[in-house]
Structure 1
Amino acid sequence: MTRPLGIIMLDTAFERPVGDVGNAGSWPFPVLYRTVSGALPRDVVDGREGGLMAAFVDAGEALISQGARALLTSCGFLVLRQSHLAARLSRPLATSSLLQLPLIAAMLPTGRRIGVITYDAASLTPAHFLEAGVADPSALPPVAGLPRDGAFHGMIEKGEPYDHARLAAEVLEAVAGLLQREPTIGAILLECTNLPPFTGLIADRFGLPVFDVLTLGRWLHAGISGE
């Protein structure tokens, strides 16, 4: 029997195509979803969701009661709550694709770094990286964020229509700018769970390995599938 992965969702209403964490078609195994009412993207990105921790735990336990053997979330910024939430849940939880940073770093050739593409660079702090397992401040990865006046922010925070071409261009521009600024980058990690629909485009355009919430979820599911 294939065991499901549970995904704790923020309270959103925008379109989620295949590749997005919130589309069941993105996964090659069963997934279960549970939304935390009132967990708005901007509040989570800015770290203002602390009062909802009990609701996140309740959502996770509800998924576990439905059969989920492990859990993900739908926002990489929730890595700030990784230790707190994982300690309170009865099954393993991975809050963010950023948890892959130490593993990716260990695999790269000498002199190569990981470049992080994030929803909001100004809000991604050393505290987030510390929770992800990057304990050395000198080892923080270079980061590029999506523009606050751009298509992604407009779609997620303002309800603007999903425009694949605009979104793709915005992501590719962010990656290109980061690589121009940091030519030693040897791998890309996508913090935002809405970016994996563009993983293939990034890999093809820049010839680098790309990691995201889907690579994390597949790895996590592989660990529970033999239970």
Structure 2
Amino acid sequence: MIVKGGRTNYGEPIGILMLDTKFPRIFGDIGNAETFSFPVRYKRVVGATPQRVVKEADPSLIEPFIEAAKELEQEGVSAITTSCGFLAIFQDYLADAVDIPVFTSSLIQVPLVYRMLKKNQKVGIMTASKPHLTELHFRGVGINDIPIVVYGMEHEEEFPEVFLNQKETLNVTKAEQEVVTVAQRMVRENPEIGGIVFECTNMPPFRNAVKNAVNLPVFDIVTFTYYVFDVIRK
């Protein structure tokens, strides 16, 4: 058997482009390596703060993200994702820049979820900030024609203060309750929802709590990453 070299390190199949953040990332968050049962490789994009990515959709970040994606590819990963679903707006740019699969956002799963539902059902999307999740993001991943309902965390207390404003401590119990409360309100006010997709990569630690509270399937960036890993692993 002959194997090919050319790199320093091996065995990290998934590369993750990280926002420049300082808030806690607990087990279940994409930014916590213990979330995964396989090795991942992180690459922080300096200056890509939640303010610039989520609130400003800053186009000047396209090039730094492209460069970071190319570096991950050169370092040997087999697929690339990101730590923020709002990077859906960069999906085409990043996918075109490298020769490996790129899935910038959990929102890419929305068409799949929709096709699993009845014709009169919709996909519920939970996001960190509804006012900032726009048609531009939906077009970026090709979901602008799919029946969706969007609810955000922007009116809660703990969740946006930590994950949007970068508070360096997290009350896990409070954040979980806020996510569950928003999910329950979304489903109660929109009973036609048949499945939920978390846009926000900080929500997966609360997936089971939401699933149990609303009795609906919940898809997020972690479930998506496991799916891609199963596809690409050798």
**Bin for the TM-score computed over the shorter chain:** over 0.9
Q: Is the 8 A contact 1:3 1:224 kept in 2?
A: no
Q: Which residue of 1 aligns with 2:104?
A: 95
Q: State the partner residue of 1:8.
A: 17
Unaligned stretches of 5+ in structure 1?
A: none
- Assess if the C-alpha contact under 8 Å between 1:7 and 1:31 holds in 2: yes
Map 1:17-32 to 2 at 5 A.
17-32=26-41
Q: Which residue matches 1:78?
A: 87
After TM superposition, give the deviation of residue 147 of structure 1 in Å: 2.5
Instruction: Supply the distance in 2 between the matched residues of 1:158 and 1:56 (Cα, whole angstroms).
Output: 21
Deviation at 1:203, TM superposition (A): 0.9
Distance 1:158 1:63 in 2: 26
Identity %: 36
Residues in 2 aligned to 1:160 and 1:176: alpha-carbon distance in whole angstroms:
27
1:95-116, Cα deviation, whole Å (9 max, x unpaired): 0000001111111123221100
Measured after TM superposition, the shift of residue 2 of structure 1 is: 5.5
Give yes or no for contact 1:11–1:39 (8 Å, CA) kept in 2: yes
Equivalent position of 1:225 in the other structure = 233
| 1:184 corresponding residue in structure 2 | 192
Q: Does 1:116 align with 2:129?
A: no
Q: Give runs of ≥4 in structure 1 deviating > 2 Å.
A: 46-49
CA distance in 2, matches of 1:22, 1:152: 16
In structure 2, which of residues 48, 52, 65 is the aligned counterpart of residue 43 of structure 1? 52
Determine if the alignment matches structure 1 residue 152 to structure 2 residue 159.
yes
- Match status 1:202 vs 2:210: yes
**Larger Rg over CA atoms:** 2
In the TM superposition, what whole-angstrom CA distance separates every residue of 1:185-226 from its partner, at most 9, and x where no partner exists? 111110000000000111111111000001111111122113
Q: TM-score with structure 2 length normalisation?
A: 0.91
Please report how far the alpha carbon of residue 123 of structure 1 lies from its aligned counterpart in structure 2 after TM superposition.
0.8
> What CA distance in whole angstroms lies between the structure 2 residues aligned with 1:159 and 1:96?
23
Give the aligned residue type for 1:141: I
Question: Over the residues paired in the alignment, what is the CA RMSD in angstroms?
Answer: 1.5
Using the TM superposition, give the Cα deviation of residue 127 of structure 1 relative to its aligned residue in structure 2, in angstroms.
2.0
The aligned length equals 224
Do structure 1's residue 129 and structure 2's residue 127 form an aligned pair?
no
| Contact in 2 for aligned 1:18/1:197 (Cα 8 Å) | yes
The SS at the match of 1:208 is coil
